[in-house]
Amino acid sequence: MSARAATLAGTRYVFDDLATLLARATPPRSGDVLAGLAARSAQERVAAQMALADTPLAAFLDEPVIPYETDEVTRLILDTHDRAAFAPVAAMTVGELREFLLADGTDAPVLAALAPGLTPEMVAATVKLMRLSELMAVAARCRVVTRFRTTVGLPRRLAVRLQPNHPTDDPRGIAASVLDGLLLGAGDATIGINPASDSPARTAELLHLLDDIRQRLAIPTQSCVLAHVTTTLGLMNQGVPVDLVFQSIAGTEAANAAFGISLATLAEAADAAAALARGTIGDNAMYFETGQGSALSAGAHHGVDQQTLEARAYAVARRFRPLLVNTVVGFIGPEYLASGKEIIRAGLEDHCCGKLLGVPMGCDVCYTNHADADQDDMDALLTLLAAAGVNFVMGVPGADDVMLGYQSTSFHDALAVRELLGLRPAPEFEAWLEGQGILDAARRVRPPEPARLPPPLRRLLA
């Protein structure tokens, strides 16, 4: 470990190792304060950013922030690092990579070729130097397209996960919310339920429910019940219809252990999903959720700041070629992201890091009622992410998740931002919406007038 330093206004600031430097350079957020890692003054933070800007990218390969010997995520990152892809930027510093990413001519093919050569730590470091507009501009240049029954991540498209949760997993209540979402143009990323109960029987019941709805209405989309991966794995072995396999993941081996998983667990689940081969136009069959602060919450952060650890979670994700990766940015609570301002920045950081690493990023634009945030903050983050080309967002009835007890984005919010920025649903799903008479000739969502809908949908509202 080598110390790095910078002098600002006559004071010399020394940072003992890379992890400390990364933490001190991070724009302010409550979780890093909680961990005792944040800069102790505004000037120390800028000094750290200056020292970080001068740090060679190669240093992140030589000095892992968590030891190779004790952490399988570090081993994954270093063992799969693509030296050839890294070559074009191998001689750069962090500050130079920032300029390269923003330069004219750095386009989607360049960034796609570079992705396997970038490590989470390099990307996290660069993002710490960037303003929101830069996080948006760089992310917008990246293209990460994935497929199962819909195509997610195409330019000028914004998909929505329809999230029809219910406090007791009542299938009728869930079906009612699914209908509401479909009629408002949501569901092209996935129709995905967070179950209130983690019992395998209940999970199986919900999987059958979603599969039946999908098949009877011939909806080109994929379903998911967000149970623990071991529950889903067991159900796949019993022939229950599983499209996407879900799991929450984090950026350290110990944090993943606190989730009850390891890379081997995920590999087993990914293999099982691949064997089912239920995708019609692609085989991206995993759905991961992440969020800054999860490692600290599990006491598994190893003295590394939460934004860097979040980027490491994307290295875990990309190993398994997911359809969707969702940073549930404001869900964890104010201990980690205290306010609308902190949530907005974190959401844009996560999206940019994920895209640079080649991960199909979406964002649950959300907050809890004990955070200093409100729906205006969500409007801001949703609009910034949509402008930055986010692959998908959530659609929750009225933005109010009545099971998880937090606020996300509503079906209406997604419609509004699609309209504001001229974004369209995933093409396969859009064609279905048009075929069902849900969209009018101008591709606006029609009011739910039963007479105008085809018989199967009409009967729902009769």
Partner 1 sequence: MKPPATAPSAADPWAGLRAHTPARIGLARSGSAVATKALLAFRADHARARDAVGDELDTEALAGALASLGARFGAPLDQVLTVASAAPDRATYLRRPDLGRRLDAAAAAHLAAHRASYDLVVVIADGLSARAVQAAPALLAGLLPRLGGWRLAPFVVARQARVALGDAVAAALGAGAVAVLIGERPGLTVPVSLGAYVTWLPRIGSTDAERNCLSNIHATGTPPAAAAQRLAALLGLMRQRGLSGVGLKEEGDLIAESKIRSDGIVGSDFLL
Residues 401-440, interacting with partner 1 (CB under 8 A): 401-407, 410, 412, 415-416, 419
Distance between CA 26 and CA 118 in Å, rounded? 19
- Residue from 65, 337, 399, 433 binding partner 1 (CB under 8 A): 399
* Closer by beta carbon to partner 1, 26 or else 247: 247
The site map against partner 1 for 176-195 (x = CB under 8 A) is: xx-xx---------------
* Closer by beta carbon to partner 1, 13 or else 367: 367
Q: How far is the CB of 59 from partner 1 (least distance, A)?
A: 31
What residues between 149 and 178 interact with partner 1 by CB under 8 A? Answer: 164-168, 170-177
Q: How far is the CB of 303 from partner 1 (least distance, A)?
A: 15
What b/e sequence results for 296-329 when a residue is b if at least 16 CB atoms lie within 10 Å of its CB, and e otherwise? bbbebbbebbbbbbbbbbbbbbbbbbbbbbbbbb
Interface with partner 1 includes 200 (CB under 8 A)? yes
456 is written with which tokens? 């199967």
Q: Are strands 223-225 and 190-193 parallel, antiparallel or unpaired?
A: parallel
- Residue from 63, 99, 212, 379 binding partner 1 (CB under 8 A): 212
Q: Are strands 151-152 and 146-147 parallel, antiparallel or unpaired?
A: antiparallel
| DSSP states of 324-393 | EEEE-TTTS-TTTS-BHHHHHHHHHHHHHHHHHTT--EEE---B-TTSB--HHHHHHHHHHHHHTT-SEE
Q: Which residues pair with 229 in a beta bridge?
A: none
* Closer by beta carbon to partner 1, 240 or else 272: 240
Position 93: which residue type? T
Q: How far is the CB of 412 from partner 1 (least distance, A)?
A: 5
Q: Are strands 245-248 and 286-290 parallel, antiparallel or unpaired?
A: parallel
Residues 374 and 366 sit within 8 Å (Cβ to Cβ):
no
Interface with partner 1 includes 196 (CB under 8 A)? yes
Nearest in space to 144 (alpha carbons), one of 437, 433, 312, 354? 354
Q: Give the number of other Cβ atoms within 10 Å of residue 369's Cβ.
A: 11
* Closer by beta carbon to partner 1, 33 or else 76: 33
Q: Stretches 21-29, 272-280, 332-340, 387-395: which one binds partner 1 (CB under 8 A)?
A: 332-340
Q: How far is the CB of 148 from partner 1 (least distance, A)?
A: 22
What residues between 280 and 299 interact with partner 1 by CB under 8 A? Answer: 297-299
What residues between 368 and 397 interact with partner 1 by CB under 8 A? Answer: 368-370, 374-375, 396-397
Interface with partner 1 includes 216 (CB under 8 A)? yes
101 is written with which tokens? 């990413």
Q: Is 411 helix (H, G, I), strand (E, B) or coil?
A: helix
Interface with partner 1 includes 95 (CB under 8 A)? no
* Closer by beta carbon to partner 1, 121 or else 430: 430
What residues between 9 and 38 interact with partner 1 by CB under 8 A? Answer: 30, 34
Interface with partner 1 includes 442 (CB under 8 A)? no
Residues 353 and 317 sit within 8 Å (Cβ to Cβ):
no
Q: Is 151 helix (H, G, I), strand (E, B) or coil?
A: strand
Q: How far is the CB of 443 from partner 1 (least distance, A)?
A: 12
Q: How far is the CB of 242 from partner 1 (least distance, A)?
A: 13
Interface with partner 1 includes 230 (CB under 8 A)? yes
One-letter-per-residue 3-state SS of 297-314:
HCCCCCCCCHHHHHHHHH
Distance between CA 336 and CA 330 in Å, rounded? 9
Q: How far is the CB of 111 from partner 1 (least distance, A)?
A: 32
* Closer by beta carbon to partner 1, 117 or else 195: 195
Interface with partner 1 includes 131 (CB under 8 A)? no
What residues between 350 and 369 interact with partner 1 by CB under 8 A? Answer: 368-369
